[in-house]
Structure 1
Amino acid sequence: MARGNQRELARAKNMKKQEDLKKSQKLGDKNKRMQNDADKMREKQAAGGRESGGCRGCRGSQQNAERETEEAGGGSLDHMGEKLSFHDVQTKDGTTMRIFVFHPKVPNYPNVKFPGVIVYSEIYQVSPPVARFAKDIAGQGFIVAAPSVYHNFEGPEPLEYNDEGTDKGNNYKIQKELKSYDEDADLTIKYLLSLSTCNGNIGATGMCLGGHLAFRTALDSRIKAAFCFFATDIHKHSLGKGMNDDSLKRCNEIKGELVMIFGDKDTHVPLEGRDLIRSELRRNKVQMTFIEINDAQHAFVRDESSKGRYDPAVTKLCFEWLLELFNSVYSKIMRPLKLMGHERALTQVKYNREGDLLFSVAKDNAASIWYSSNGERLGTLEGHQGVIWSIDVDPETLLCATGGGDLQVKLWTVENGKCVYSWSSPSPVRRVAFSPDGSKLLVIADQVMGHIGTISVYDINRDVSTITQQSETPSLVIETEPNGSKATVAGWSENGEFIISGHDNGLVSKYDSRTGELISSLQAHGIHNEEKAVGVTDIQFALEDRSYFITSSKDKCAVLIDVDTFEILKVYKADAPMNAAAITPVKDFVILGGGQEARNVTTTAESQGKFEARFYHKIFEEEIGRVKGHFGPLNTVAVHPDGTGYSSGGEDGFIRVHTFDKSYRDFLFDAERTEKAAAAGTI
């Protein structure tokens, strides 16, 4: 049997046992770090005034879509002062359910197809705030259907936001049969799918009662994604006649992506209820994001009659998250695998040499190993007592190393996940990296706690029979203080001849790996703009020959540097602090990842934090595209060794594994296209 197959079978057999033992463990909330995002957004907007998310969508004629609605048994009417399209359907109990329909407006494209979104209202039916919310979603390129769910008791008109309306809505909510709620969902889905302008992708969202109905609709496999605002009654199983719903019990039926969002001051769904929902979703391995907003109350997105609970800044932010979810799920371009295995923010992801395995660490205390092809987790590496800042795997995928804030460097065997040796560090470990042949391991110890920052090099014993016998002391120690700076990242050049390090003052240094002599230093960052924060955040080498490398920095730039000449080759300028940078093989691109820190989002020119992976042409230095998906800054990026994709890890606690599609592989600048045509003799 080939070595790769033997290794894979041994890995799967041994590490799967560890994974099985952890299936029932409660995972912490991955998303509470997003609270700073929402917390600070409030400062950007003055209290008062209606804000429903803002439409940046297309404008133009929607007559064809509206005509189709009317011909299919619908029409239009003045609804609370606004003209709305609608479609009436007959239910099994003989009542008529009205579905209000909101069409995207796209000029000169009468035959374009759109994804659909079902918007469920609160207990007041399709009220003006719900209609505005639905209209805003439609403005972003979706067909929106908003059903009036109390057709069993009265017409489609909204209930008043007063005591009488509240009492009516609450009473109807528990008098309506569960099977009637489910029929409403089925009829609405079928209606959207019947439209020639719908492309077949359907999602759901809603607030309060509507949040629960969106959750329940997600039990239907036709629903690709659901975004649920402060969903009531799920934790109490109290929806419908008899107040004994099975929504949470059936959550394992949810096949699409799910976002649950609550305010932490929500008295309708208290902390215990939110914890129950979160734990059940995790126990059933639902692909979900669970967010609790600091100081937000129930109904914080309703822009009228909310009794002071409306929060315009948070509403706008949530609307952007909703669009991120639907656009990501519906997109056919580079649809990623979304890996959920960490409780806190990612700090580093790393492929092995073959690219079949992906290694990840985070601000929790366990590393994870995944199959990169399908996102299955092989197992976890447990032993650290705090944040793990760095991970690396040797060229043969025999050993991997981790370093963390618990002052420990640990060496692990990949096939069984056992820790075979630990080194103590005088200060937190910021980076670990194997030499190209795997015989040495460099370790960066932070310059804190009275310790001078160092790069230590350990000789690695790779003999399997004596692998637990490692040298306790490093063979080389480099004190990294050129001009008073400390090393933040480091790596090896080809053949391990040099150690290249990046520093907190923007310097990049080259050391002789045998003697520790400083050969050269270069001010790589802090010179391209006026940014004050210039620390180097990442260093990655060209996979082909390690003859050049890229660094990223808080100065919103990335720099390409030649190892031999130690000169800057290219500069890539972004619009936000960069935390990671990687060079793609095969295609002449580089990928940058970063974004405004969550607590500083209000300092940006836009409301969003620029949480995208940015693609630049390596030669021309021009940005060519962005990939969205994370709900916070990207902290780490790694490119697949054969150039077929990349992975990113974010502050949101998620890993997204992307496979490049045909549009990526075929992309050429005009100059490249001309050169290719000339070489082929076609011009």
Structure 2
Amino acid sequence: MGCSVPDTTPIQQWRHVEEGAYAADISTDGTLAVVSGVNNGVNVWRIGQSEPLFHWSHQGEGNNLVMSVHISADKRYVVTADREAFALWSLETGEPEGFWRIDEASIRDVAVTNNGNGILVARSNGKVMYFEPRTSRRLEFFGHQEKVNSIDISPNGKYALTGGNDYIAYLWNTDTGQIIHTFTHPTRVTKVALDDEGRYAFTADSQSKSQVWDVQTGQPVTALKFASRQKIFTDVEFSKDGRYLLTGSPARKVYLWDLKSGEQIQSIQVASRESISPPTAVVYGVAFLPNDNIVSISSSGLAEEWQRER
């Protein structure tokens, strides 16, 4: 096995958090990171710089409990959430544009559209809310029968993808709440993602089914091929040309996949949190850089750039 293990020494490495991170996201072009730190609130970084662009406190200056972060595809807005509330922030001014509390069930995941026009909020009671901050329009999606684990929204805000413990992922319309496609799994759906170019959807369960679908037809495009009994994903990014898929995992791994064949092209192991035993790290964000390399950010508080295998 020694010969087949790829070199996972990063080209560059930047520390964004000293004591580790609860959550993070990387912009689709790999240039911005938003990191929720264990001990220093939420910070916005231009990757490669030594000082953050903005420092945010989600609920005042108390303990930071932000567990979900999402950057809009156009890099203009960020949504942050703890279990009880979510906030919308401008990446142009660094200012908050709204703060909303959820009473009936805890927040599981959040996503925001281009221009901050729409926010998607998943909750533990199976309900998903689509909310337009500037018009106060609100739509509740009741398709799921159990806890919702993962959500994503198209950049234009018209389509939502949601997956839950009921073994189902739904692609649905945020204007009407009508289901467009239903994607079924043998176990609970743990991760979903939409291609920003509007071509594909990704759904994965807690065991062995990780599937890319055609969003127009609802038909399967490819299944990721891996030998392990199960593979859990924490972030998913489609390449702009639609040929590759990048995934992060809770066990320090970043994988590059061929979208057409489902074959794994590259495996990367990110730096661990040294203060934890055994040393480990959750990969929160992955992206393709403009120079065609790969960037990751993890619970270790480190952003790392990697040479991409050709």
TM over 0.5: yes
Cross-structure match for 2:190: 488
Given that residues 203 and 211 in structure 2 are in contact (C-alpha distance below 8 angstroms), is that contact kept between their aligned partners in structure 1? yes
Q: Of 259, 280, 289, which residue of structure 2 is paired with 1:585? A: 289
- The answer to whether the aligner puts 1:422 opposite 2:140 as a matched pair is yes
CA distance in 2, matches of 1:397, 1:376: 13
Aligned residue type for 1:590: I
Given that residues 433 and 490 in structure 1 are in contact (C-alpha distance below 8 angstroms), is that contact kept between their aligned partners in structure 2? yes
Given that residues 432 and 441 in structure 1 are in contact (C-alpha distance below 8 angstroms), is that contact kept between their aligned partners in structure 2? yes
Q: Of 33, 49, 55, which residue of structure 2 is paired with 1:338? A: 55
CA distance in 1, matches of 2:201, 2:132: 25
Cross-structure match for 1:432: 151
Aligned residue type for 1:489: K
Q: Of 428, 451, 458, which residue of structure 1 is paired with 2:172? A: 458
Aligned residue type for 1:520: T
Give 3-state SS (helix, strand or coil) of 1:619's partner.
Answer: coil
CA distance in 2, matches of 1:507, 1:612: 30
**Cα deviations across residues 115-161 of structure 1 (Å, max 9, x unaligned)?**
xxxxxxxxxxxxxxxxxxxxxxxxxxxxxxxxxxxxxxxxxxxxxxx
Q: Of 549, 553, 557, which residue of structure 1 is paired with 2:245? A: 549
Given that residues 285 and 297 in structure 2 are in contact (C-alpha distance below 8 angstroms), is that contact kept between their aligned partners in structure 1? yes
Task: Please list every run of 5 or more consecutive structure 1 residues that lacks an aligned counterpart in the other structure.
Answer: 1-288, 292-320, 325-331, 462-469, 528-532, 596-610, 622-683
Give 3-state SS (helix, strand or coil) of 2:75's partner.
Answer: coil
CA distance in 2, matches of 1:620, 1:492: 24
The alpha carbon displacement at 1:366 in A equals 1.3
Residues 439 and 379 from structure 1, CA distance in 2 versus in 1: closer, same or farther, beyond 3 angstroms? Answer: closer
- The answer to whether the aligner puts 1:360 opposite 2:80 as a matched pair is yes
CA distance in 2, matches of 1:571, 1:384: 41
Given that residues 295 and 306 in structure 2 are in contact (C-alpha distance below 8 angstroms), is that contact kept between their aligned partners in structure 1? no
Residues 460 and 386 from structure 1, CA distance in 2 versus in 1: closer, same or farther, beyond 3 angstroms? Answer: closer
Q: Of 461, 470, 478, which residue of structure 1 is paired with 2:183? A: 478
CA distance in 1, matches of 2:242, 2:219: 20
Given that residues 348 and 361 in structure 1 are in contact (C-alpha distance below 8 angstroms), is that contact kept between their aligned partners in structure 2? yes
- The answer to whether the aligner puts 1:406 opposite 2:125 as a matched pair is yes
Aligned residue type for 2:180: S
CA distance in 2, matches of 1:540, 1:402: 20
**Cα deviations across residues 545-603 of structure 1 (Å, max 9, x unaligned)?**
454231111232111123233332321113424242321432444333334xxxxxxxx
Give 3-state SS (helix, strand or coil) of 1:431's partner.
Answer: strand
Normalized per residue, which structure has more strand?
A: 2
Aligned residue type for 2:51: R
Q: Of 254, 257, 267, which residue of structure 2 is paired with 1:561? A: 257
Residues 334 and 524 from structure 1, CA distance in 2 versus in 1: closer, same or farther, beyond 3 angstroms? Answer: farther
Given that residues 384 and 408 in structure 1 are in contact (C-alpha distance below 8 angstroms), is that contact kept between their aligned partners in structure 2? no
Residues 345 and 507 from structure 1, CA distance in 2 versus in 1: closer, same or farther, beyond 3 angstroms? Answer: farther
CA distance in 2, matches of 1:553, 1:438: 27
The alpha carbon displacement at 1:525 in A equals 7.7
**Cα deviations across residues 63-107 of structure 1 (Å, max 9, x unaligned)?**
xxxxxxxxxxxxxxxxxxxxxxxxxxxxxxxxxxxxxxxxxxxxx
- The answer to whether the aligner puts 1:540 opposite 2:237 as a matched pair is yes
- The answer to whether the aligner puts 1:522 opposite 2:240 as a matched pair is no
Aligned residue type for 1:583: A
Given that residues 494 and 547 in structure 1 are in contact (C-alpha distance below 8 angstroms), is that contact kept between their aligned partners in structure 2? no
Q: Of 258, 283, 298, which residue of structure 2 is paired with 1:594? A: 298
Alignment of 1:33-44 (within 5 A): none
**Cα deviations across residues 456-491 of structure 1 (Å, max 9, x unaligned)?**
121232xxxxxxxx23x423221122xxx4321112
With normalisation by structure 2, the TM-score equals 0.69
Given that residues 506 and 553 in structure 1 are in contact (C-alpha distance below 8 angstroms), is that contact kept between their aligned partners in structure 2? no
Q: Of 294, 305, 310, which residue of structure 2 is paired with 1:616? A: 305
Alignment of 1:72-87 (within 5 A): none
Given that residues 124 and 148 in structure 2 are in contact (C-alpha distance below 8 angstroms), is that contact kept between their aligned partners in structure 1? yes
Alignment of 1:304-315 (within 5 A): none
Task: Please list every run of 5 or more consecutive structure 2 residues that lacks an aligned counterpart in the other structure.
Answer: 1-36, 41-47, 273-279
Structure number with larger C-alpha Rg = 1
CA distance in 2, matches of 1:437, 1:354: 10
The alpha carbon displacement at 1:539 in A equals 1.3
Residues 525 and 555 from structure 1, CA distance in 2 versus in 1: closer, same or farther, beyond 3 angstroms? Answer: farther
The alpha carbon displacement at 1:614 in A equals 3.5
Give 3-state SS (helix, strand or coil) of 1:488's partner.
Answer: strand
Greater RCO between the two (CA within 8 Å, min separation 6)? 2
CA distance in 1, matches of 2:87, 2:241: 28
Cross-structure match for 2:214: 512
Given that residues 534 and 555 in structure 1 are in contact (C-alpha distance below 8 angstroms), is that contact kept between their aligned partners in structure 2? no
Aligned residue type for 2:73: R
**Cα deviations across residues 517-554 of structure 1 (Å, max 9, x unaligned)?**
43432234849xxxxx8422221233x44542311112
Given that residues 139 and 174 in structure 2 are in contact (C-alpha distance below 8 angstroms), is that contact kept between their aligned partners in structure 1? no
Alignment of 1:129-140 (within 5 A): none
Given that residues 222 and 260 in structure 2 are in contact (C-alpha distance below 8 angstroms), is that contact kept between their aligned partners in structure 1? no
CA distance in 2, matches of 1:613, 1:421: 37
Aligned residue type for 2:71: Y
Given that residues 353 and 397 in structure 1 are in contact (C-alpha distance below 8 angstroms), is that contact kept between their aligned partners in structure 2? no
CA distance in 1, matches of 2:258, 2:154: 18
CA distance in 2, matches of 1:494, 1:371: 20
Give 3-state SS (helix, strand or coil) of 1:415's partner.
Answer: coil
The alpha carbon displacement at 1:373 in A equals 4.2
RMSD after superposition:
3.2
**Cα deviations across residues 155-176 of structure 1 (Å, max 9, x unaligned)?**
xxxxxxxxxxxxxxxxxxxxxx
The alpha carbon displacement at 1:495 in A equals 4.5
Aligned residue type for 2:132: T
The alpha carbon displacement at 1:368 in A equals 0.6
Given that residues 410 and 419 in structure 1 are in contact (C-alpha distance below 8 angstroms), is that contact kept between their aligned partners in structure 2? no
- The answer to whether the aligner puts 1:502 opposite 2:207 as a matched pair is no
CA distance in 2, matches of 1:346, 1:541: 26
**Cα deviations across residues 259-306 of structure 1 (Å, max 9, x unaligned)?**
xxxxxxxxxxxxxxxxxxxxxxxxxxxxxx9x9xxxxxxxxxxxxxxx
CA distance in 1, matches of 2:218, 2:103: 29
What fraction of aligned residue pairs are identical, expressed as a percent?
13
Residues 583 and 339 from structure 1, CA distance in 2 versus in 1: closer, same or farther, beyond 3 angstroms? Answer: same
Residues 494 and 357 from structure 1, CA distance in 2 versus in 1: closer, same or farther, beyond 3 angstroms? Answer: closer
